[in-house]
Amino acid sequence: MRVEVTSTQPVANGRAFGHAGAYERLTGKVYFSVAVANPHNRRIVDLKNAVNLHDGQVAFSADFVAIRPVDASKGNGSMLLEVPNRGHQGIVRLVDGGTTDLSNVGDAWLLRRGFTVVSLGWQWDAPGPHALKLYAPIAKDHGHTITGLLRGDLMLSKPQSVIPLGHDIIGSIGGTEYPVANPRDPRNLLTVRNTRQGRRVVIPRSGWEFAKLVNDKPVPSARHIYLKTGFEPGKIYEYVYVVQNPVVAGLGFASIRDFASWAKHDPHALTPVRRVYGEGISQNGRYLRDFLYEGFNADEQGRIALDGVLAHVAGAGRGSFNYRFAQPSRDAEPTSSVDFPIDIFPFTDEPEVDPATGRRAGLLDAAKAEHVVPDIFLSCTSYEYWGRAAGLITITADGRHDMPIGPHVRVYHFTGLQHFSGPFPPKKGTGDLAGQQPMSPLPIHYFWRAMIANMDAWVRNGPPPPPSSYPRISNGTLIPLAKWTFPAIPGIHTPTEANAGWHLNFGPHWRQTGILLWQPPRVGAPFPVLVPKVNADGNEIDGVHLPEITVPLATYTGWNLRSPSIGAPGQRVPFEGSYIPFPKTKADRLRTHDPRLSIAERYPSEAAYLRRYSQAIDQLIAERWILPEDKPAMMARGRAEWAYATE
């Protein structure tokens, strides 16, 4: 409907970036209105109950940040539309290596290429004063307050007396969550258990209250729980409580859809372009999978909204994005956000059959029906096969066969990487991320640049992107967890479980209505859990290999177990992989009984190692996984890794 620009700043003091020229960074708010009667809006849960419904329209708004060429005609005509992670931008910093606010533009790769980049609020509960948020109305049932049950859970890394009701994700709040509506309602419940599928033990109501500590004394709080005996680390605490006034959260799908459509079809739009690529990482990759499944890639006129989709590290997940009392931040971690509507059928882009129910469905059914299927990259790291059930996106639901991949889809497995790139030199995580091994430091940066370039070329009818590369049942590189083995490396403990997709039931017709009545849900049988097979070094055989995997100095895994210092040492740390260095010499290997060949036995010299490292990069460039301009930086990284591994 309109745009309110609150600030306009030149990027890099007006410096010109190649053919695109000067850029500017705008911030502000976009105002929308959707018609309740439009069939493309009917899937939005509670839209017809919005309290601001007027003349058949529901208004809402969203924060935005836009990075655009000052002269739009000089841009490349393509927009990267970022779905921000819990309200925070990240793609420009990740790809260009500068800062989010562009006080440092890094190497300005996106700007030099002429891209427009927009980050747009979609999450109503995004936390913090600087988060990009969705401002959506609440819903009422013919004027009456709507109530329901909400649930949350967490596993702590240290003892504490009070926990927040919001989604606590690695020490901060990922979603602010609803406050308790009636602290004395008998349906309010607190339980504790040791593992995801462990037996829940009810904590007596007399032992806890909705409160926070002020001067070491509990004070009533609608957003906190105080446990008199204290919350212990290494245990899963789950709370169920009564809430009211649901936000029409599904409007977050309309915000991305309608902004993309506006940018392409209105020459007076804030950021006029010809092509829009939806980009999302983790939570927002799941958002994009759900966006497609729910049928939002057709705008109100039935036109395609997103021409391309880059959904990264989403695994098999979707999310709690378009339900009554939606909880967008919940993400299905190893020891929290358990049994939420995240890893739920269907998982594959082509229709598959659920052997338990006979239901047949695919992720792209709605997009195919309206002829609005975009070009899609579904990219995963090794972590997602352990923590995000990623095996399910390429196999039949019974786990027996590989599924065909549609012509508009590529599935990429980046071997040895973790959910987010760890630091180099490798370090162990801290707090909630304290693991037994240092994190995998392998970078995603270079893959992202190539993926964006490849997507842009694909949509423009240029060269097709690299073919899918992922583990498969047919060649033995994707195997049941029960058959997975790992080399007996001294001092290394291995996982005995991995996240699975489950048959969940939140009450009658919950999938059709978006109303979840049962909390927690009734849990049926799991879907098969398959993980990538590893070689004698413990590195995965399949997928797209960085030089660090092709010419290894270490083992890089998709899992990392919790440090005993934070409890539950048999459980996996969320988001992390492991870095396990090779022995330096044969004597080191023999002394420690390490089954892996030492560095000295593999490579006669640094020069020999770097020669093979260079050849591995050249192969990646030839296959279009890496851009030629990034080779010098990758070679510098290779030299640093050799020095670190052999010092």
Q: Has residue 181 been placed in a domain?
A: yes
Confidence (pLDDT) at 528: 97
Nearest to residue 535, comparing CAs of 597, 490, 584? 597
Give the gyration radius of the chain's Cα atoms: 25
Residue 518 lies in a domain: no
Is residue 533 a part of any domain in this protein?
A: no
Using DSSP, state whether 155 is helix, strand or coil.
strand
In a domain, 212, yes or no: yes
Look up residue 221 and give its DSSP letter: -
387 near 420, Cβ under 8 Å? no
**What global pTM score does this model have?**
0.97
Domain holding 219, by residue range, is: 147-244
Tally of structural domains, the chain: 1
Specify the pLDDT at position 28. 98
Question: Does any domain span residue 37?
Answer: no
Q: Is residue 182 part of a domain?
A: yes
Cα atoms in the 13 Å half-sphere on the side-chain side of 625: 23
In a domain, residue 558? The reply is no
Q: Using DSSP, state whether 88 is helix, strand or coil.
A: strand
The list of the chain residues with pLDDT below 50 reads none
Q: What is the pLDDT of residue 168?
A: 87
**Start-end of H helices in 413-559:** 445-459, 510-513, 547-550
The predicted structure's pLDDT at residue 511: 94
What is the predicted pLDDT for the residue at 82?
98
| pLDDT tens string 276-321 | 999 999 999 999 999 999 999 999 999 999 999 999 999 999 999 9
Residue 593: inside a domain, yes or no?
no
Question: Computed from CA positions of residues 279, 285, 291, 297, in that sequence, does the dihedral angle turn out positive or negative?
Answer: positive
Q: pLDDT at position 170, please?
A: 83
- Tokens 């007027």 — which residue? 54
| pLDDT value of residue 173 | 87
CA distance 359 to 17: 52
CA nearest to 85, candidates 260, 255, 280: 280
Please name the residue that has the structure tokens 């969940």. Answer: 504
